[in-house]
């Protein structure tokens, strides 16, 4: 059984050999990863059900299909992404030169997965890392043991063992892994651990992408079809039992809206899960007893009033879809990311009050607004910041590969999905291939200096305001 | 004091003053005025700091800066506008775009070798992106630092863009505060400390560091021109440039000609006594002077080698046949010493480069396309200039930054704006088309799963302006062709009719 450093050294040696650079190699590996997912769907579903009691539908939608989509997208666009970018504006002094930006692999990267979507949160970064020509070490979350084991077994079977390795283990193993030098670290998880990752990366000057979380607010304001809004809200909140980094964490609305919302929520939940969600096949469970306990504590300490749900069962870590009203800013539920099927509703009197509240907190990973009024959506957009934003729906903005997925401030740094992942795992190298001609123009820059030369040089290199495409015009 | 400056900047940012585009443009134009009006004073400060010649100042600091400001002013509306992205069938009636947003309060730590360019260029991007910025110029270029502290508040908003001067302890105090981005230009050692300090607040950083930038000279090359260009890039600012060619790699057969080429050029540039040339600079301070001189210990200079501690003068110096393990080859020189290391061929050169840390810049001189291609494909570096040195820095459309030990992040032109912005992914849906959504709701069954998979598998469509124009143009052409075909057919039918 190879030690961590042996594995890293092996991958580094492979990277040095240049074998991951050619397009053909990357394509083959991506194709193999595609086969891995397609051929093992049942095994994946079983593992996820074992770990998270994940309903088959959710597994297909949010783990399998999203990974397949990203793979298709990467394979379709790989050639374009790999091309040097030539569309660069030039000035007179560089007219005859070849200027372009190359995307180059970084080296050996470390991808640390999370437990809530144990498959796609580790495979989507891997797709990007492979597409960008790197070698990668995967460190799946140890909390989802069945998925961890499955990945450890399947990855070496399908992908090149010299380029990609899975290292399993707990917190101590991760700590020792981080002592090694990597060329990029991609982490999905909590802020606390993120800090220690950054501290571990600093001595090696390793760039880091952090996909964290936060409390994603959801405005329901102004004129709105409350039935439809309730449907989409319930779906995004209770998907994966609320254990999504972009789940709407809490709702901000007026008392009037709240009164219209509650019956709509009740009806929707009934339609979704039946009268007893605990018996529905479509309702998931909390990942571990410890997380269940954390949520129950928050619920018990909360001073809000439970109006929907509230039931729970310790034996199978079940918590019913629960909605609370009369929740204040100081409530236990408002101090940290909930990450569970508990939805507090905070009443506001005006949009500004809600916006002020949001701006007093850390920047969230996602922000939602349900409203028919464009002015409401625009006001919120212009006066807040968040990793991403979705109007009149929840979560789905992360399924569009053209949009970068990432946080800002305490919710993270960097982004991925689609081309953004490719860019994250690449170095953008600016290249200028100077011609041997125009040495006479060059002469202007050499000592001995003179005002005359300086004048001409200034003219030749100055950006002209109305130039087309950033080139200086004679 | 530092804490208060940051606090005030944050309050000013939260008040929203720095966000309107007109305000940003106004600030940038004021910055432009400052540089134009005060050029003389800036040149004097630089002469006192580093004996910068009066021509090097506009050439290396100010022209570039002015261009960056003009570019930002001219393109700001475009850069700050929402950037639409491709949609799929599920999102076809929605708005999907990326909105660049200000990050908040950023910290810019400048360097001493180009104290104006390296401190103000990042500031241009920070202002353009709508942020507040705390500017901390390097204390080693003290005259420039004091001048900046005196001038900036007179031209820019004092609360949004405070200048904080001071040494190590003031910088450490600053780094204890929370920023939304830190932009640091300097060396690796401090770079690591900056990253560590940023870690505490989960602050993203841009680090413009350095390293040993190799310069490979192929044997079949016009050595006259090559040596001229290399000499210029190496000895400008007395070698104190982060992207100066640090050392030369070449085959033994051309080494002597390279030395001669450089010697000749030095004579042309600075005359027989560079010490008395107004165009030749000095080392920034005694500590760096001693550091550079120590690197030379034990080696005989082939060209130059003279020094004068009282003036912190070191002559342009070339050293031949330097062994790879020499002290001269262990750290970034950042001075006017140019070692030549011989390599047997291009493979040897590539191997040599890849054994070392990734450099900030890489230079190749060759007339052979294959050699250039190999160098580019088999090495990596922050940036590259082929057949010249430094010049990739001057094109604002090229991203400028390091990789690995030479840094993280990039800037110049639009890249600075992007570096200091948050790219917020926005999807604005309508509540219509709910029938499509129904497939994703519980209770679930096989049919729904199948339908959802199908819907998710739709290809992406580009709705950008370019595609629209293309689609419209193609439609018009197609229509025109159809009309033409119809006319032809009618005429042909008409002709055949009359023939009957």
Among A401, A414, A435, select the one facing B460 at the smallest CB separation. A401
* Residue A382 φ/ψ, nearest 5 degrees: -75, -20
pLDDT band at B466 (very low <50, low <70, confident <90, very high): low
* Residue B307 φ/ψ, nearest 5 degrees: -155, 165
Q: What is the pLDDT of residues A351-389, one digit of tens each?
A: 999 999 999 999 999 999 999 999 999 999 999 999 999
pLDDT band at B331 (very low <50, low <70, confident <90, very high): very high
Distance CA A310, CA A331 (A): 17
Q: Please answer yes or no on whether B96 and A403 come within 8 Å at the CB atom.
A: yes
CB B79 within 8 A of CB B414: yes
Distance CA B75, CA B25 (A): 10
Q: Which residue of B has its CA nearest to A228?
A: B431
Crossing angle, helix B21-37 and helix B63-80, to 10 degrees?
170
Residue with tokens 């004097």: B44
Query: Which of A122-131, A149-158, B44-53, B189-198 has the least mean pLDDT?
Result: B44-53
Residues 6+ apart with CB under 8 A from B344: B251
> Nearest Cα to B235, choosing from B192, B193, B267, B187?
B267
The alpha carbon of residue A432 is apart from the nearest alpha carbon of chain B, in Å, by 5
Q: What is the pLDDT of residues A302-361, one digit of tens each?
A: 999 999 999 999 999 999 999 999 999 999 999 999 999 999 999 999 999 999 999 999
Task: Specify the pLDDT at position B461.
Answer: 59
Instruction: Return the structure tokens found at B152.
Output: 């900036």
Distance CA A107, CA A439 (A): 38
Q: How far is CA A119 from CA A28, A340, B248, in A?
A: 20, 19, 49
Mean pLDDT confidence for B249-265 = 97
Distance CA B231, CA B269 (A): 9
Task: Specify the pLDDT at position A454.
Answer: 81
Distance CA B397, CA A99 (A): 9
pLDDT band at B455 (very low <50, low <70, confident <90, very high): confident
Task: Specify the pLDDT at position A472.
Answer: 30
Q: What is the pLDDT of residues B66-77, one digit of tens each?
A: 999 999 999 999
Mean pLDDT, chain B, integer: 92
> Nearest Cα to B408, choosing from B100, B200, B192, B240?
B192
pLDDT band at B441 (very low <50, low <70, confident <90, very high): confident
The alpha carbon of residue B272 is apart from the nearest alpha carbon of chain A, in Å, by 12
Task: Specify the pLDDT at position A466.
Answer: 44
> Nearest Cα to A251, choosing from A279, A230, A268?
A230
By three-state DSSP, how is residue A369 classified? strand
pLDDT band at B498 (very low <50, low <70, confident <90, very high): low
Task: Specify the pLDDT at position A224.
Answer: 93
Mean pLDDT confidence for B398-403 = 96
**DSSP, res A85:** B
Task: Specify the pLDDT at position B89.
Answer: 73
Contacts of B200 in chain A (CB under 8 A): 195
Q: Please answer yes or no on whether A282 and B443 come within 8 Å at the CB atom.
A: yes
Q: Which of A225, A229, A234, A403 to mutate: most B Cβ within 10 Å?
A: A403
Query: Rg of chain A over CA atoms, in angstroms?
Result: 26
Q: Please answer yes or no on whether A88 and B58 come within 8 Å at the CB atom.
A: no
Among B74, B395, B423, select the one facing A90 at the smallest CB separation. B395
Residue B175 has pLDDT above 90, yes or no: yes
Residue A474 has pLDDT above 70, yes or no: no
Q: Please answer yes or no on whether B453 and A60 come within 8 Å at the CB atom.
A: yes
Crossing angle, helix B168-176 and helix B2-14, to 10 degrees?
40
By three-state DSSP, how is residue A182 classified? coil
* Residue B148 φ/ψ, nearest 5 degrees: -60, -40
pLDDT greater at residue B302 or residue B435? B302
Residue B450 has pLDDT above 90, yes or no: no
Q: How far is CA A463 from CA A87, A101, B32, B69, in A?
A: 17, 20, 13, 10
Considering the candidates B188, B215, B238, B242, report the single residue annotated as catalytic: B242
By three-state DSSP, how is residue A384 classified? coil
Contacts of B444 in chain A (CB under 8 A): 55-57, 281-282
Considering the candidates A58, A63, A211, A423, report the single residue annotated as catalytic: A211
Q: How far is CA B62 from CA B381, B382, B401, in A?
A: 26, 23, 20
Give me the residues paired with residue A100 across strands.
A431
Catalytic residue flag (residue A245):
yes
Mean pLDDT confidence for A397-415 = 94
CB B12 within 8 A of CB B132: yes
Q: What is the pLDDT of residues B126-167, one digit of tens each?
A: 999 999 999 999 999 999 999 999 999 999 999 999 999 999
Q: Please answer yes or no on whether A429 and B397 come within 8 Å at the CB atom.
A: no
Catalytic residue flag (residue B497):
no
Residue A470 has pLDDT above 70, yes or no: no
Task: Specify the pLDDT at position A444.
Answer: 81
Peptide bond into A454 cis (omega under 30): no
The fraction of chain A above a pLDDT of 90, given in percent, is 84
Mean pLDDT, chain A, integer: 92
pLDDT band at B500 (very low <50, low <70, confident <90, very high): very low
Residue B61 has pLDDT above 90, yes or no: no
């Amino acid at each position: 059984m190879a030690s961590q450093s042996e594995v890293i050294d092996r991958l580094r040696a492979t990277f040095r050999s240049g074998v991951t650079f050619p397009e053909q190699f990357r394509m083959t590996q991506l194709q193999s990863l595609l086969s891995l997912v397609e051929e093992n769907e049942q095994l994946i579903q079983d593992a996820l059900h074992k770990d998270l009691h994940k309903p088959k539908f959710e597994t297909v939608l949010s783990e399998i299909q999203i990974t397949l989509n990203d793979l298709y997208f990467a394979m379709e666009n790989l050639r374009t992404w790999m091309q040097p970018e030539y569309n660069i504006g030039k000035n007179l002094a560089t007219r005859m030169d070849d200027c372009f930006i190359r995307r180059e692999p970084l080296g050996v990267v470390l991808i640390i997965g999370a437990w809530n979507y144990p498959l796609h949160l580790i495979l989507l970064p891997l797709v990007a890392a492979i597409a960008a020509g790197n070698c990668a070490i995967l460190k799946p979350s140890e909390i989802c043991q069945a998925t961890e084991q499955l990945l450890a077994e399947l990855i070496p079977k399908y992908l090149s063992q010299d380029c990609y390795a899975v290292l399993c283990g707990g917190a101590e193993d991760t700590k020792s892994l981080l002592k090694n030098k990597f060329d990029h670290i991609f982490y999905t998880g909590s802020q606390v651990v993120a800090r220690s990752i950054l501290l571990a990366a600093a001595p090696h000057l390793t760039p880091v992408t952090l996909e964290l979380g936060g409390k994603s607010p959801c405005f329901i304001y102004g004129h709105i079809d409350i039935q439809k809004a309730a449907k989409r809200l319930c779906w995004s909140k209770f998907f994966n039992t609320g254990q999504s980094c972009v789940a709407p964490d809490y709702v901000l609305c007026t008392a009037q809206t709240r009164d219209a919302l509650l019956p709509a929520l009740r009806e929707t939940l009934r339609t979704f899960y039946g009268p007893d969600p605990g018996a529905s096949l479509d309702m998931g469970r909390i990942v571990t007893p410890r997380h269940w306990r954390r949520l129950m504590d928050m619920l018990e300490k909360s001073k809000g009033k439970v109006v929907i749900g509230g039931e729970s069962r310790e034996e199978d870590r079940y918590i019913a879809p629960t909605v609370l009203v009369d929740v204040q800013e100081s409530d236990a539920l408002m101090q940290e990311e909930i990450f569970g099927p508990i939805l507090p509703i905070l009443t506001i009197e005006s949009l500004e009050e809600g916006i002020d509240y949001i701006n007093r907190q850390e920047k969230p990973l996602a922000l939602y607004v349900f409203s028919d009024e464009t002015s409401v959506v625009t006001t919120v957009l212009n006066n807040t910041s968040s990793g991403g934003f979705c109007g009149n729906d929840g979560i789905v903005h992360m399924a569009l590969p053209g949009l970068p997925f990432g946080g800002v401030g305490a919710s993270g740094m960097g982004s991925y999905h689609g081309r953004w992942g490719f860019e994250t795992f690449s170095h953008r190298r600016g290249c200028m291939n100077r011609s041997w001609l125009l040495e006479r123009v060059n002469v202007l820059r050499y000592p001995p200096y003179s005002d005359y030369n300086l004048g001409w040089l200034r003219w030749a290199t100055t950006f002209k305001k109305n130039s087309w495409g950033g080139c200086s015009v004679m | 004091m530092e804490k208060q400056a940051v606090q005030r900047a944050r309050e000013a940012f939260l008040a929203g003053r720095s966000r309107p585009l007109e305000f940003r443009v106004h600030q940038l134009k004021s910055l432009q005025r400052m540089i134009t009006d005060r050029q003389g004073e800036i040149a004097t400060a630089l002469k006192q700091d580093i004996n910068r010649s009066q021509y090097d100042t506009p050439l290396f600091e100010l022209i570039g800066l002015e261009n960056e400001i003009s570019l930002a002013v001219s393109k700001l509306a475009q850069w700050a506008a929402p950037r639409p992205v491709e949609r799929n069938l599920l999102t076809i009636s929605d708005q999907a775009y990326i909105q660049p947003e200000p990050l908040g309060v950023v910290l810019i730590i400048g360097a001493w070798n180009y104290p104006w360019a390296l401190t103000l260029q990042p500031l241009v991007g920070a202002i353009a992106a709508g942020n507040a910025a705390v500017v901390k110029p390097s204390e080693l270029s003290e005259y420039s630092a004091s001048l900046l502290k005196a001038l900036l508040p007179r031209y820019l908003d004092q609360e949004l863009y405070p200048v904080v001067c001071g040494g190590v302890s003031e910088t450490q105090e600053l780094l204890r505060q929370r920023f939304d981005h830190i932009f640091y230009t300097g060396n690796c050692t401090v770079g690591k400390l900056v990253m560590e300090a940023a870690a505490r607040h989960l602050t993203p950083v841009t680090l413009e560091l350095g390293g040993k930038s190799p310069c490979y000279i192929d044997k079949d090359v016009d050595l006259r021109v090559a040596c001229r260009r290399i000499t210029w890039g190496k000895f400008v600012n007395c070698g104190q440039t982060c992207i100066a060619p640090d050392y030369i790699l070449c085959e033994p057969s051309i080494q002597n000609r390279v030395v001669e080429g450089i010697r000749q050029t030095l004579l042309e540039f600075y005359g027989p006594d560079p010490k008395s040339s107004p165009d030749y600079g000095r080392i920034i301070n005694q500590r760096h002077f001693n550091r550079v001189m120590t690197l030379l210990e034990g080696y005989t200079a082939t060209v130059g080698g003279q020094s004068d501690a009282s003036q912190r003068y070191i002559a342009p110096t070339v050293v031949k046949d330097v062994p790879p393990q020499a002290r001269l080859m262990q750290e970034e020189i950042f001075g006017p010493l140019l070692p030549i290391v011989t390599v047997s061929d291009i493979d040897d050169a590539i191997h040599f480069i890849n054994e070392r840390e990734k450099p900030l810049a890489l230079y190749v001189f060759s007339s052979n396309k294959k050699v250039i291609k190999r160098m580019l494909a088999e090495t990596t570096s922050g940036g590259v200039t082929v057949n010249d040195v430094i010049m990739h820095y001057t094109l604002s459309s090229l991203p400028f930054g390091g990789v690995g030990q030479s840094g993280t992040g990039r800037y110049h032109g639009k890249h600075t704006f992007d570096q200091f912005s948050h790219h917020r992914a926005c999807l604005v849906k309508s509540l219509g088309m709910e029938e499509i959504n129904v497939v994703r709701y519980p209770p679930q069954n096989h049919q729904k799963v199948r339908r959802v998979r199908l819907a998710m598998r739709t290809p992406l469509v580009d709705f950008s302006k370019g595609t629209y124009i293309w689609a419209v143009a193609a439609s018009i052409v197609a229509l025109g062709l159809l009309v033409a075909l119809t006319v032809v057919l009618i005429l042909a039918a008409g002709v055949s009719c009359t023939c009957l």
